[in-house]
Amino acid sequence: MEILKGLPVANAINEKLIEEVKDLKGPLPRLAIIRVGERPDDCSYERGAVKKMEKVGFRCSTFAFPGDIDNDTFQAEFDKINNDDDIDGILLLRPLPKQLDERSIEERIDPRKDLDGISPMNLAKVFAGDETGYGPCTAEAVIEMLDFAGIDPKGKRATVVGRSLVIGKPVAMMLMKRNATVTVCHTKTADMAGTCKNAEILVAAAGCARMINKDFVAQDAVVIDVGINVDENGNLCGDVDFDDIQENASIATPVPGGVGSVTTSVLAKHLLKAAKAR
């Protein structure tokens, strides 16, 4: 089994961005990262995003708010960032604390600055196959991984495990746009293992540690693991039992070191696109 790591994919995207930004006229692209509270996973992703923007030569500002901020105050602060003409793109770290109206933010974020595809307009564009918008960065990272590996989804049977608006549904639409025949599995799917075993491309995005074992994986299937979980020993792992599928899969992505490594590069790619559009 070939292991498809994210770092070479991310590096290829980064190199292209560094070349493209040389021809950009005007101020360098600027990203605003909005974080509420101190969740470790949010802080970790923030650090990675800041590092990536610095690496490709973009500007980046973090707007951190206390975890107990009230809804009216947060909405007002968000509007200031959203309306700032010096900001090309926004990354909102989610989920937000329960006292905040996340739906309202999704509806009011400027679609031209919505780099992670949370607004209704950008999600609609993903479902319509309109590439002028921005899809969720993690979903697009899956497609970047397949492209880098030279895997064309056209005509292939693809199965996505998970139906969230963050990964499952958008990545299904992106695969369909590439002319794959797509099946989406979820908690109510009967015979999930049998359904998955029919797939030539299997994308695991269920959020359940190591649920995908060899019984789910067809011979020579390509397996893309989007899951980020912590196992009973406190170790980071994916939705796929990586060791168990090795005799079946032809290519598989690891966790950590797989799709997650590409996400911030997709974010930088979206930021440059937004800056050029503005």
Looking up residue 54, the CATH number of its domain turns out to be 3.40.50.10860
Question: Residue 222 falls within a domain, yes or no?
Answer: yes
Question: Residue 278 falls within a domain, yes or no?
Answer: no
**pLDDT tens digit string along 170-224?**
999 999 999 999 999 999 999 999 999 999 999 999 999 999 999 999 999 999 9
- Both tokens of 125, joined, read 């564009």
Question: Residue 33 falls within a domain, yes or no?
Answer: yes
pLDDT at 25: 85
Question: Mean per-residue pLDDT for 25-35?
Answer: 95
pTM as predicted: 0.96
**53 and 99 together in one domain:** yes
**252 and 158 together in one domain:** yes
Question: Residue 117 falls within a domain, yes or no?
Answer: no
pLDDT at 104: 97
**156 and 107 together in one domain:** no
Are 262 and 6 contacting, i.e. CB atoms less than 8 angstroms apart?
yes
Between CA 136 and CA 121 the distance in angstroms is 12
The type of residue at 15 is E
**142 and 204 together in one domain:** yes
pLDDT at 64: 98
The type of residue at 89 is G
**88 and 163 together in one domain:** no
Q: Peptide bond before 256: cis, by omega within 30 degrees of 0? A: yes
Mean pLDDT of the chain: 96
**142 and 254 together in one domain:** yes
**pLDDT tens digit string along 74-130?**
999 999 999 999 999 999 999 999 999 999 999 999 999 999 999 999 999 999 999
Between CA 152 and CA 129 the distance in angstroms is 17
Between CA 259 and CA 169 the distance in angstroms is 17
CA-based nearest residue to 1, from 236, 161, 214, 238: 214
Long-range Cβ pairs for the range 91-94 (8 Å, 24+): 91/31, 91/32, 91/33, 91/34, 91/49, 91/115, 91/116, 91/267, 92/34, 92/116, 92/118, 93/33, 93/34, 93/35, 93/36, 93/39, 93/42, 93/45, 93/46, 94/118
Provide the number of structural domains found in the chain. Answer: 2
Domain region containing 31: 19-112
pLDDT at 233: 86
**74 and 141 together in one domain:** no
**227 and 141 together in one domain:** yes
**141 and 256 together in one domain:** yes
Are 231 and 209 contacting, i.e. CB atoms less than 8 angstroms apart?
yes
**184 and 103 together in one domain:** no
**203 and 90 together in one domain:** no
Q: Is residue 145 pLDDT above 90, yes or no?
A: yes
- 154 burial level (CB within 10 Å; 0-12, 13-18, 19+): exposed
The pair phi, psi for residue 65, each rounded to 5°, is -125, 150
Question: Residue 11 falls within a domain, yes or no?
Answer: no
Question: Residue 168 falls within a domain, yes or no?
Answer: yes
Question: Residue 204 falls within a domain, yes or no?
Answer: yes
CATH number at residue 179: 3.40.50.720
**144 and 252 together in one domain:** yes
Question: Residue 265 falls within a domain, yes or no?
Answer: no
